[in-house]
């Protein structure tokens, strides 16, 4: 209100245009002051209102915790920054105190100027003269320069004030006004100072302005002063005066501008307020949005918290359940601990008992157990022995029964014999000389050939490489002795050359074979029964070589030809030498003679013997001295030629012929056996001399035994396979039940 009254007071004053220069300036000053005061007051009050409003808003933002966007906005606006600072408790500065500083500065300058004038005056008073005036003038010029600097500063200040009318000058308008007011004040004072200074010089200076306070009386000019210099000084003064005028004009202009700036500043403030309000609105909207989002988030979090609460509830429940089970476990554990204690003490007790019993009972138990084990073991061994005996018995019984069946059926018996490997074969180290035979069981022989083929054969007897002549004969003996009962018996040895046919049948002198042992037994038995039975024994020895029969006991060996004929007592060879023998020695002599006859005829005895069949026949006519009963028995002991195949022997010429004939007779023997085996009505006996001679023995009423002789080494395995297969076929031949050839007495 005071401002308004002042304003009204001013309006009642006479118009400035009616007043003189000085008065006008004074009035304008007063008007400017009062207008500025009014403007300042209203500005300050509005600013306060605005500040309060903003402060309220900021507090609200602070409460809502949304100060961040405001602070971001404030960083772009210093005034808002101050408010934010206020709202957040920071120091604020509105307007600052730049004005006071400037006033201080101006005051200082004014004092400096005053002092300078003082100094100048005193210098002129005391020293006088041209030099002193020059010095003073120099200093004066310096001062004038300073003044000009000041003026340009003022001008810059004015320009700054003018520039504040545009954008960005809104901040600090109240302060700007105050600053301008001060500058006006300063200008005025400088003006006064300059005028006073000019007045003091008293020369060439313009008269003091009307109404100006009377200055000190003019100083008398010293007579030594140059008029030209004084003139120059006056010119300088005139220039200063002009400049002062210009400053005044600028002051007027600045004042006008100030008014404009005041208005513009107000308008600017309002605009700022409006923009701030819109900013605030925007902020309010965005903060509302953020608050909503925050609420939403809070709701989500609330949900989560609910879920968490449920989980916590469940966990609490589980925890309680665990607690209770834990307590149950604790009880169980304590029970277990108790039990464990009991068990430990029981165990200790048992342990001590066991220790005690170990000392006393264990040796007893061990002793009795040992004796029990020994008894059990001996029982077991005994039972094994019994089993073994029983087994052997069973095997024997089986063999007996089998032989019985064979006898009843009249099967050809087959005994296999394997010779031992020769020294040469043993030392050769050749793969072909490796042993290829095995004897897996009683009555069984197995052979492997060079191609790796393996086969097992079963025969009535199998004699391995270690078998003796005695063992062999023992198995033959029953057959041989049956001749004394009137049976026809034929024993022949079949096999590849060098497999031991001769060794088995004849044998060396020191180790006689079947032939001599049979005759020995026949004579022996005959001797034993001679009180009741009179036996007449005759012997013949022949050879079949290239299908020709040779009488080896004849005086003219090789010159006569013999044929086989059928007689009342079976096939026979007419004119064959038959020698009555009473002892084994006689037989041995005859055999020696036969052997001699064989060898004198041939240069290579070994080769020859291999390619001819040797037949030692023994005929026994037995007469019972009491009953007169006569029986006729016949024993053929045959050492066949080697059975190797013609192809393999590689024979040519005579050798080939020999081989072919051997082949012929042996294959005829095979055919006869096959025909008998198949039960054929036609038996091809007449196909060879050999089969013709053996017809009796290969028909019914005969007991036939075949020795199949084999080699134990690999290089003979192929022939071994053939011989064993042939023997296997022969074994299946059923000749029919053998019958005795007995003629009752008187018939």
Binding site for ligand ATP (CB under 6 A): 419-420, 495, 497-503, 609-610, 642, 709
**Cα(335)–Cα(343) distance, integer angstroms:** 12
Shortest Å distance, C-beta 533 to ligand ATP: 35
- The residue among 551 and 719 lying less far from ligand ATP, judged by its C-beta, is 719
Torsions phi, psi for 356 (to 5 deg): -65, -45
Q: Residues 711, 747: contact at Cβ < 8 Å?
A: no
Pick the closer one to ligand ATP by CB: 504 or 695: 504
Tell me if 116 sits within 8 A of 143, measured CB to CB.
Answer: yes
In the complex, minimum distance from the CB of residue 595 to ligand ATP, in angstroms, rounded to a whole number: 12
Is 498 annotated to bind a ligand? Reply is: yes
Give CA angle at 133 (127, 134), nearest 5°.
130
Q: Transcribe 69-136 into DSSP letters.
A: HHHHHHTT-HHHHHHHHHHTT----SS-SHHHHHHHHHHHHHHHHHHHHHHHHHHHHHT-HHHHHHHH
423 a known binding residue?
Answer: no
Confirm or deny that 497 is annotated as ligand binding.
yes
Burial class (CB in 10 A: 0-12, 13-18, 19+), 223: exposed
Q: Which is nearer to ligand ATP, 33 or 608 (CB)?
A: 608
Q: Which is nearer to ligand ATP, 352 or 432 (CB)?
A: 432
Distance CA 356, CA 368 (A): 18
Residue 690 beta carbon to ligand ATP: minimum distance, rounded to whole angstroms: 15
Q: 600 labelled as ligand-binding?
A: no
Write down the least CB distance from residue 578 to ligand ATP, Å: 25
Output 623 or 660, the one with its CB closest to ligand ATP.
660
Q: Minimum CB separation from ligand ATP for residue 639, in Å? A: 6
CA distances from 334 to 26, 98, 342, 380, 387 (A): 114, 91, 12, 56, 64
- φ, ψ of residue 635 to 5 degrees: the values are -125, 120
Cβ nearer to ligand ATP, comparing 269 with 609: 609
Joined tokens for residue 105: 């500065």
Min dist CB 662 to ligand ATP, Å, is 10
Of the candidates 150, 151, 116, 152, the one whose C-alpha atom is nearest the C-alpha of residue 136 is 116
Min separation Cβ 473 and ligand ATP, Å: 12
Query: At its nearest, how many Å lie between ligand ATP and the CB of residue 621?
Result: 31
Backbone φ, ψ for residue 438 (5° rounding) = -140, 160
Angle between helices 21-64 and 227-409 (to 10 degrees): 20
Is 410 assigned a ligand-binding role in the annotation? no
What is the distance between the terminal CA atoms of the chain, rounded to a whole angstrom? 199
And the tokens for 476?
């033959």
d(CA 735, CA 697): 9
Distance in Å, CB of 637 to ligand ATP, minimum: 13
Residue in the block written with tokens 């989002």? 293
In the complex with ligand ATP, the residue whose CB is nearer, 84 or 641, is: 641
State which residue, 31 or 710, has the beta carbon closest to ligand ATP: 710
Residue 496 annotated as part of some ligand binding site? yes
Give whichever of 190 and 419 is closer to ligand ATP, judged by the CB atom. Answer: 419
Supply φ then ψ for residue 89, to 5 degrees: 90, 10
Q: Cβ-closest residue to ligand ATP? A: 500
Please state the residue numbers annotated as binding site for ATP. Answer: 495-502
Please state the residue numbers annotated as binding site. Answer: 495-502
């Amino acid at each position: 209100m005071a401002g308004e009254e002042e304003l009204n007071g001013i309006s009642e004053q006479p118009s400035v245009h009616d007043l003189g220069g000085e008065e006008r300036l004074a009035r304008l000053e007063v008007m400017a002051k009062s207008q500025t005061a009014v403007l300042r007051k209203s500005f300050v009050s509005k600013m306060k209102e605005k500040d309060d409003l903003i402060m309220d808003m900021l507090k609200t933002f602070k409460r809502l915790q949304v100060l961040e966007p405001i602070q971001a906005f404030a960083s772009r606006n210093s005034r808002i920054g101050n408010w934010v600072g206020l709202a957040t408790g920071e120091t604020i500065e509105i307007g600052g105190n730049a004005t006071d500083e400037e006033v201080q500065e101006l005051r200082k300058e004014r004092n400096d100027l005053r002092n300078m004038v003082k100094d100048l005056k005193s210098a002129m008073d005391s020293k006088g003269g041209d030099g002193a005036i020059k010095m003073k003038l120099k200093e004066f010029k310096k001062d004038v320069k300073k003044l000009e600097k000041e003026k340009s500063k003022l001008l810059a200040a004015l320009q700054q004030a003018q520039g504040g009318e545009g954008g960005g000058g809104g901040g600090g308008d109240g302060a700007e006004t105050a600053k301008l007011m001060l500058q006006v004040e300063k200008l005025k004072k400088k003006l006064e100072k300059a005028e006073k200074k000019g007045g003091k010089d008293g020369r060439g200076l313009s008269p003091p302005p009307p109404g100006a306070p009377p200055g000190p009386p003019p100083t008398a000019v010293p007579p030594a002063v140059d008029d030209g210099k004084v003139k120059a000084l006056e010119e300088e003064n005139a220039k200063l005066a002009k400049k002062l005028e210009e400053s005044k004009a600028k002051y007027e202009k600045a004042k006008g501008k100030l008014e404009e700036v005041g208005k513009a500043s107000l308008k600017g403030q309002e605009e700022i307020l409006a923009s701030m309000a819109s900013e605030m609105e925007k902020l309010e909207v965005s903060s509302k949005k953020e608050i909503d989002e925050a609420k939403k988030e809070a709701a989500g979090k609330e949900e989560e918290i609910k879920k968490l609460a449920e989980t916590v509830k469940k966990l609490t429940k589980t925890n309680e359940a665990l607690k209770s089970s834990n307590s149950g476990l604790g009880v169980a554990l304590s029970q277990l601990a108790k039990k464990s204690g009991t068990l430990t003490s029981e165990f200790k007790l048992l342990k001590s008992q066991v220790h005690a019993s170990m000392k006393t009972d264990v040796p007893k138990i061990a002793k009795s157990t040992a004796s029990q084990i020994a008894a059990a073991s001996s029982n077991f061994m005994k039972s094994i022995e019994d089993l073994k005996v029983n087994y052997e018995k069973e095997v024997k019984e089986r063999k007996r029964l089998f032989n019985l069946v064979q006898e009843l059926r009249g099967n050809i018996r087959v005994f296999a014999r394997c010779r031992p490997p020769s020294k040469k074969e043993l030392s050769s180290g050749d793969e072909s000389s490796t042993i290829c035979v095995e004897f897996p069981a009683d009555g069984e022989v197995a052979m492997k050939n060079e191609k790796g083929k393996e086969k097992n054969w079963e025969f009535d007897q199998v004699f391995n490489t270690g078998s003796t002549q005695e063992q062999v004969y023992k198995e033959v003996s029953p057959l041989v002795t049956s001749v004394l009962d009137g049976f026809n018996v034929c024993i022949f040895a079949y096999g590849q050359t060098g497999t031991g046919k001769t060794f088995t049948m004849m044998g060396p002198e020191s180790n006689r074979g079947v032939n001599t042992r049979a005759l020995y037994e026949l004579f022996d038995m005959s001797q034993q029964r001679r009180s009741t039975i009179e036996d007449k024994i005759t012997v013949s020895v022949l050879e079949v070589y290239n299908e020709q029969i040779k009488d080896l006991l004849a005086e003219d060996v090789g010159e006569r030809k013999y044929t086989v004929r059928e007689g009342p007592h079976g096939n026979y060879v007419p004119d064959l030498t038959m020698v009555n023998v009473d002892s084994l020695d006689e037989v041995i002599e005859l055999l020696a003679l036969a052997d001699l006859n064989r060898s004198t005829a041939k240069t290579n005895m070994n080769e020859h013997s291999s390619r001819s069949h040797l037949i030692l026949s023994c005929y026994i006519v037995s007469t019972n001295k009491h009953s007169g009963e006569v029986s006729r028995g016949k024993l053929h002991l045959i050492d066949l030629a080697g059975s190797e195949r013609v192809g393999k022997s590689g024979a040519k010429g005579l050798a080939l012929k020999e081989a072919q004939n051997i082949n012929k007779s042996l294959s005829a023997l095979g055919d006869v056996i096959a025909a008998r085996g198949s039960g054929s009505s036609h038996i091809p006996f007449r196909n060879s001399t050999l089969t013709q001679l053996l017809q009796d023995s290969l028909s019914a009423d005969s007991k036939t035994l075949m020795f199949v002789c084999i080699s134990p080494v690999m290089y003979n395995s192929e022939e071994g396979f053939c011989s064993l297969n042939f023997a296997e076929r022969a074994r299946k031949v059923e000749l029919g039940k053998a019958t005795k050839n007995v003629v009752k007495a008187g018939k």
